[in-house]
Structure 1
């Protein structure tokens, strides 16, 4: 089929099937099945993207927690703590 002819060809099939309701119904049923399959594919692709986003978010939280744990207690801007005898801890 050459580009741009799909509508004309569909009309041709529709015209041929006009006298044959069973054939016309088959064409409509096939179109419906194809549309449902396309929608199902789109839904599955969206779910896969959502899974990827959730994984990236979990990795970001994990990395943030690891960084906080690795830098905990290493800040140098704290004032020294002194014992009662005046020595720094």
Structure 2
């Protein structure tokens, strides 16, 4: 008993360590590893009555794939967050933005060539 008490309640070497009486729930807090700030887990129904989890959060490495996820969620009737609607609106204007950027670059090059 004393050994178990000492094991669970001894002073941790890492000041960020969280002690729990259940050894399976022990976690060590590490800077930059808090995933809960930018991701929200959604439980999605369907799939023959089974449920699966899907992360809804901005994926900066693969925005095209993230847009596909949002489109699939919208088609499946999953309620989207305001940020996701903003992203849909921004991607709809992406072609227009590319044209404007190309025109600005062209005008800057013409102006530089004329001086």
TM-score (norm 2): 0.34
Q: Name the one with the larger helix percent.
A: 1
**Higher RCO structure (Cα 8 Å, ≥6 apart):** 2
